[in-house]
Amino acid sequence: MSQQRQGNTPGNAGAVPAFPDLPEATIARLPEYLRALHHLAESGSETVSSEGLATAAGVNSAKLRKDLSHLGSYGTRGVGYDVALLIDQIEYILGLDQRRAVALVGVGNLGHALAGYDGFASRGFRIVGLFDADVERVGKTINGLPVRHIDELGRAVVEEGITIGVIATPAGAAQGVADELVAAGVTSILNFAPCVLSVPAGVDVRKVDLAIELQILSFHEHRKASLTALPGGRVGGNQEAVGS
């Protein structure tokens, strides 16, 4: 997943001194730590070593210790990190101590699948609005939510406190949708359409493109093939979460 940074990141702009200014790579790994920590908590672990957490999150332990030191979390020698405390700290930093309202625009193949996915709620998000321009789709219900016409987006954003918009329309429609989201007051956009969006300062855009991830894997396949073709060639693996 890539990010277009547009002006100040909300939270950094006029940041209160207590809010750490984290490197982007650290921010991208925090959700991985959180997922691993929730798993540990569910299996009854109260503490975890940096090595244990690093393995569970699929990163190296030196990187993990550095990341967590940015949060002021150093663990206790011989004991490790307090799992519940670290969950609270990471959820606070990620702003997950409140469930954020999300609008999804474009309820075709991809949007329908996203709208039907139950896993967002447990990770801090409520999809509260589904919007589409196709009158054939408007009025249909997915996961208990009706698809509304795109013309209702602006009012819904204001009335329902929506701050995050997900775009799953064709690329040709995505900029117009982004403009409508921003005009209505949305300040974060997750864009699945294969295009670059232009947004004003203060709006954050992240882009998800599985084709790009496959192209990166294709590069590694190509590299491995060319290295093993060399006499005595050895190839190491490489693990990176989509979204890092």
Ligand X SMILES: NC(=O)c1ccc[n+]([C@@H]2O[C@H](COP(=O)([O-])OP(=O)(O)OC[C@H]3O[C@@H](n4cnc5c(N)ncnc54)[C@H](O)[C@@H]3O)[C@@H](O)[C@H]2O)c1
Please tell me whether 191 is known to bind a ligand: no
Q: Name which of 194 and 200 has its Cβ closer to ligand X.
A: 194
Interacting residues with ligand X between 188 and 227 (CB under 6 A): 192-194, 208-210
**How many Å apart are CA 144 and CA 165, to the nearest integer?**
19
Q: Tell me if 192 sits within 8 A of 177, measured CB to CB.
A: no
| Per-residue mark of binding to ligand X, 137-166 (x: CB under 6 A) | x------------x----------------
User: Minimum distance between the CB of residue 167 and ligand X, rounded to whole angstroms?
Assistant: 8
Give the three-state DSSP class for 27: helix
**How many Å apart are CA 4 and CA 199, to the nearest integer?**
9
> Residues 110, 145, 184, 241: which binds ligand X (CB under 6 A)?
110
Q: Name which of 109 and 122 has its Cβ closer to ligand X.
A: 109
User: Minimum distance between the CB of residue 175 and ligand X, rounded to whole angstroms?
Assistant: 10
> Residues 24, 88, 97, 134: which binds ligand X (CB under 6 A)?
134
CA 160, 142, 109 angle in degrees (round to 5)? 110
Query: Number of residues in contact with ligand X, rule: CB under 6 A?
Result: 26
DSSP result, 55-98: HHHTS-HHHHHHHHHHTT---BTTTBEEHHHHHHHHHHHTTTTS
User: Minimum distance between the CB of residue 190 and ligand X, rounded to whole angstroms?
Assistant: 10
User: Minimum distance between the CB of residue 177 and ligand X, rounded to whole angstroms?
Assistant: 5
Helix, strand, coil percent content, the chain, rounded in steps of 5: 45, 20, 40
Annotated binding-site positions for NAD(+) = 106-111
